[in-house]
């Protein structure tokens, strides 16, 4: 049985820049607790115990309508109120979120790469991943363009980066051209609740994938040598999703998508990680204040 591959951050090689790695990333950097190349026996793979990865389960309640035996229509049974006030309308959540999500395109002297981001405030600040906007050691930065779901392109500058949390903040001049996303409150995220991952996997801008929160406070390595806690989700996250938002059914950002676990040579296997919005907000506010 194939062992668990090296968990890594999703990266995307633009078709125009296919020969260059995503800025700030080696082809297969470790971004979780497993060491590179570790092979697991079948029992350990099933439990995913070596690197502390597990999946949760959950679902959404609906309603049913029936008919009497004589063909008369029964009144529709009212849907039970969502647990904790969480709605099940992910369609509405996607509609609210998409205008505030952008593709982040980076050009450097050695090539370029791309990822995703979202509008953080009304002053033109955009949150993404550090590894999306940095090149090589992180000392060199290229020109950055953000592209909205409506196709509008805006030049952006780097306000600041935090490699240990894999967070970066960009700024565009035309703040009115973008819609700020709502951020979830502290402690509001729960295991089993439905979520959407929004971004530009493989360059496909405005892509939405659905899943649940599989676990909270999952220790992973996001950028530096120390572990950070992350939100784990089974929503499909692939190369190019880096820096995009993980949102709940209310359309509130609960995390910043940043890493995935993969089998050898594979893509998403339903184990993705996001920087919790509480920490991402603190880091972004600090970078903006210093910038």
The catalytic residue positions are: 131, 166, 242
| 7 contact partners, CB below 8 Å, separation of at least 6 | 30, 31, 32, 33, 34, 51, 53, 220, 259, 260, 261, 262, 271
Which residues face 267 on adjacent strands? none
How far does the chain reach from its first CA to its final CA, in angstroms?
A: 49
Four-residue CA torsion sign, 38, 56, 211, 103: negative
Contact between residue 274 and residue 233 where contact means Cβ atoms under 8 Å apart: yes
- Strands 272-276, 252-260: pairing is antiparallel
* 249-to-95, 253, 276, 280 alpha-carbon distances in Å: 11, 10, 16, 19
Half-sphere exposure of 207 (CA within 13 A, CB side): 20
d(CA 82, CA 94): 18
Enclosing H/E stretch for 287: helix 277-290
d(CA 129, CA 107): 16
d(CA 257, CA 276): 9
Contact between residue 136 and residue 118 where contact means Cβ atoms under 8 Å apart: no
Enclosing H/E stretch for 170: strand 167-172
* 206-to-70, 98, 198, 277 alpha-carbon distances in Å: 48, 6, 7, 21
């Amino acid at each position: 049985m194939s062992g668990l591959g090296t968990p890594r951050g999703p990266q995307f090689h633009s078709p125009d820049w296919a020969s260059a790695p995503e800025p700030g990333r080696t082809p297969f950097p470790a971004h979780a607790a497993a060491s590179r190349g570790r092979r697991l026996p079948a029992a350990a793979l099933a439990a995913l115990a070596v690197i502390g990865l597990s999946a949760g389960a959950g679902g959404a309640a609906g309603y049913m309508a029936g008919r009497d035996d004589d063909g008369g229509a029964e009144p529709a049974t009212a849907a039970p109120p969502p647990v904790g006030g969480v709605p099940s309308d992910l369609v509405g959540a996607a509609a609210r979120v998409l205008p505030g999500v952008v593709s982040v395109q980076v050009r450097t002297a050695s090539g370029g790469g791309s990822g995703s981001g979202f509008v953080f405030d009304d002053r033109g600040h955009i949150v993404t991943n550090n590894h999306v906007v940095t090149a090589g050691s992180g000392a060199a930065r290229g020109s950055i363009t953000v592209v909205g779901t409506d196709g509008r392109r805006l030049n952006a500058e780097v306000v600041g980066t935090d490699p240990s949390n894999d967070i970066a903040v960009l700024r565009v001049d035309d703040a009115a051209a973008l819609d700020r996303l709502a951020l979830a409150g502290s402690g509001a995220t729960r295991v089993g609740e439905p979520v959407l991952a929004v971004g530009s996997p493989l360059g496909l801008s405005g892509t939405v994938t659905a899943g649940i929160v599989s676990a909270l406070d999952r220790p992973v390595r996001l950028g530096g040598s120390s572990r950070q806690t992350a939100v784990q989700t089974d929503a499909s996250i692939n190369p190019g999703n880096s820096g995009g938002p993980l949102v709940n059914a209310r359309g509130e950002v609960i995390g910043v998508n940043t890493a995935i676990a993969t089998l050898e040579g594979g893509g998403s296997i339903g184990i993705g990680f996001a920087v919790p919005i509480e920490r991402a907000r603190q880091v972004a506010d600090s970078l903006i204040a210093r910038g």
